[in-house]
Structure 1
Amino acid sequence: MEHEFWHRRWANKEIGFHEGSVNEYLYKHWPELSSKTTDTVLVPLCGKAHDLWWLHDRGHPIIGVELSEIACKDFFEEGGEKAKVHPGEPFTTFKNGDLEIWCGDFFQLVPEDVARVRLVYDRAALIALPPETRPKYVEHLTAVTPDSTQILLITLDYEGSPTSPPFNVSNDEVHELYADDYLIEHIHTQTLANDHPFAKRKGLTGATESVFRLTKV
């Protein structure tokens, strides 16, 4: 999606993808990653997700990457915390201790930026991208992160050809995108209830969410 698309969505508060609480799969499955509580976590396309606070409360330094300045400001304001803002190129950084959100284009990250990262949390990055952009995203994520980095990936799959996010990503596509560089473990699948807010809004039946643990090899 073009930058203007996301800036418009945030300006118009069209953020149905934002969860107002910690993601259920995060607190259920995060302990399954082979990690230390001091490992730095990268959260691509993080928005203003409460998940960042949850991870930070468990001792993890955080680097979130988010295109929208509105989202970055809202994250700290709604969390009741202040951030020191450091303007720069290609990223303006919002920092509160070792919780950082880098405001800018994810594709501008370089390996030096995330050299201390050992873990990645992706709930809404891959599924936010259209099919033609997803290989580029995975390629760039793989290029910048250190060896042995682990990813907790959450996907959504449903029938149809959506024109806006969240997009459907099948389990087969996950293997196509990641198999060359990662050990893939499919650790959970759950069918969305018909009264789930997203399923109701889209009129979906049989939509599923899957959770993967990926290890870069």
Structure 2
Amino acid sequence: MNADFWHGKWQRNEIGFHEGRPNHFLVKHADRLEAGAGSRVFLPLCGKTRDIAWLMGRGARVAGAELNRGAIEQLFAELELAPEVTAAGPLERFSAAGIDIFVGDVFALTPAHLGPVDAIYDRAALVALPADVRRRYAGHLRGLTGGARQLLISYEYDQSLAKGPPFSVQAREIHALYGADYQVQELETAPVERGLKGLSEVVERIWQLTPRGD
């Protein structure tokens, strides 16, 4: 997936990945992040997700990364916040009280620009990436955040029947990507209502990733 693919999706408003309400798994399992009021939660490839407003409503501070500038302009408009826009290396930082979103290539984001985070919430980032990028991404997040605890959502379906994104990421791959550095626990599995990409048999899983040694 290249940048033009995602910019085109936003330009054409082909954003079926955008949920119009906070994610049901997040609402149910957010306490697993151990990110109370004042904690900072990082959302990679965040788009304009409603999960940001929900987390902020709980008192969390939010950091995010998103490729498309228009998505973040829409996000701040929907939050009714006027961002301060500054440079962060090759990225742009959109900031307001309790929120910092970095616009550009997530792989260009550095720990110095991101700053400390207490937890990661990954709803639509890992599954947006093809297989040859996912290992690099998982390692990049560890380096960015010092191995912060995570909630991760994945999909499973017969990849031969449909192209991603979102891609099918099997449980064994989750363990292979994260198991060396995290205790990997599956919290819940549920069928995707109304299916996905025209497929009726799609499973959604939420995982808790706890740094080893915690």
Which is further off, 87-96 or 72-81?
87-96
Distance 1:115 1:169, change over 3 A: same
Deviations 1:132-189 (A, max 9, x none): 1101100111122124x11000111111234331111111111111111111111100
Partner SS state of residue 132, structure 2: coil
1:118/1:146 contact within 8 Å kept: no
The answer for the alignment partner of 2:154 in structure 1 is: 155
Note the residue ranges of structure 1 that are not aligned, 5 or more in a row.
none
The answer for the alignment partner of 1:29 in structure 2 is: 29
Separation (CA, whole Å) in 2 of partners of 1:67 and 1:142: 19
Q: How does 1:197-208 map to 2 (within 5 A)?
A: 199=195, 202-208=197-203
Separation (CA, whole Å) in 2 of partners of 1:128 and 1:38: 29
Distance 1:145 1:180, change over 3 A: same
2:43 is aligned with 1:48: no
Q: How does 1:1-217 map to 2 (within 5 A)?
A: 1-147=1-147, 149-161=148-160, 162-193=162-193, 196=194, 199=195, 202-217=197-212
Q: For residue 214 of structure 1, what is the amino acid of its counterpart?
A: L
What TM-score do you get using the length of structure 2 for normalisation? 0.93
Aligned alpha-carbon RMSD (Å): 1.5
1:115/1:146 contact within 8 Å kept: no
Separation (CA, whole Å) in 2 of partners of 1:203 and 1:64: 30
Separation (CA, whole Å) in 2 of partners of 1:35 and 1:175: 23
2:159/2:167 contact within 8 Å kept: no
* CA shift for structure 1 position 88: 4.7
Separation (CA, whole Å) in 2 of partners of 1:177 and 1:55: 26
Which is further off, 203-212 or 106-115?
106-115
Identity %: 38
Q: For residue 156 of structure 2, what is the amino acid of its counterpart?
A: D
What TM-score do you get using the length of structure 1 for normalisation? 0.92
2:175/2:184 contact within 8 Å kept: yes
Separation (CA, whole Å) in 1 of partners of 2:157 and 2:83: 38
Deviations 1:33-68 (A, max 9, x none): 333322111100000001011111111111110010
* CA shift for structure 1 position 131: 0.9
* CA shift for structure 1 position 7: 1.1
1:158/1:206 contact within 8 Å kept: yes
